[in-house]
Amino acid sequence: MKSLALLLLIITAMATTTTIFDFTKDSNISNWRIVDDVVMGGRSNGVFHINQDGHAVFSGTVSPENNGGFSSVRYDTKAINVSNHTKVCIKLKGDGKPYQFRVKANDRQRYSYITTFKTSGEWEIITLDLKDLYPAFRGRTLEYPNFDKEFIEEIAFLFGNKKAEAFELLIDKIEIR
């Protein structure tokens, strides 16, 4: 009886989890793009690639020169229905620094819904509640409701601190639950 209950629990958990991206050595990352502060005259420089272990690596340097101070990597995806999901779970390894996770409900939307998470320097699973993502545009919080949409068409990671330093974030998997 306990085995049946455990099996039902596993099946239920699997049915409510949707993988957005699972990085491997063979991952096609052509829909991922870097957007740095150079779009506004800054001098930051981010890169995104797959390492020899099959993990995505978002790394670079941030520079406050010319009012800069951020680097981001964005993933343009087909619409992902999140109406039956409440959380984003990301398996990652950071450098002990804070990062932003961002989503857009559609690709024409100018602002993002964001939240900040801290990394520990170890492999970990970061769990973020979609309802806690708040709307922001160019560093300013907007007076709109927090994320309450049915779809996501873009996800992003951003490192920005307005000071000169290097950063590195390894990403293994992104799921919604």
What's the whole-number mean pLDDT along residues 141-163?
94
Q: Which two tokens stand for residue 12?
A: 């239920």
Q: Which two tokens stand for residue 62?
A: 């941030």
Where is average pLDDT lowest: 15-19, 63-67, 75-79? Answer: 15-19
Contact criterion met (CB below 8 Å) for 84 and 30: no
* Average pLDDT of the chain to the nearest whole number: 91
Q: What is the pLDDT of residues 14-25, one digit of tens each?
A: 458 899 999 999
pLDDT band at 68 (very low <50, low <70, confident <90, very high): confident
**pTM for this model (two decimals):** 0.89
Q: Convert 127-163 to b/e letters by CB count within 10 Å (16 or more is b).
A: ebebeebebbeeeeeeeeeebebeebbbbbbbbbeee
Report whether pLDDT(86) > 90: yes
Phi and psi for 63 in degrees, rounded to 5?
-130, 135
What's the whole-number mean pLDDT along residues 42-59?
96
Report whether pLDDT(13) > 50: no
List the chain domain ranges. 19-176
More confident residue, 58 or 17: 58
Report whether pLDDT(173) > 50: yes
Q: Name the fold adopted by 19-176.
A: Jelly Rolls (2.60.120)
Where is average pLDDT lowest: 4-13, 26-35, 155-164? Answer: 4-13
In sequence order, what are the beta bridge partners of 127?
89
Determine the Cα–Cα distance for residues 79 and 70; give it in Å rounded to an integer.
26
Contact criterion met (CB below 8 Å) for 69 and 44: yes
Report whether pLDDT(92) > 80: yes
Q: What is the pLDDT of residues 108-134, one digit of tens each?
A: 899 999 999 999 999 999 999 999 999
DSSP class of residue 16 equals T
Q: Which of 14, 7, 60 is nearest to 34 (CA)?
A: 60
How much is the pLDDT for 12?
A: 47
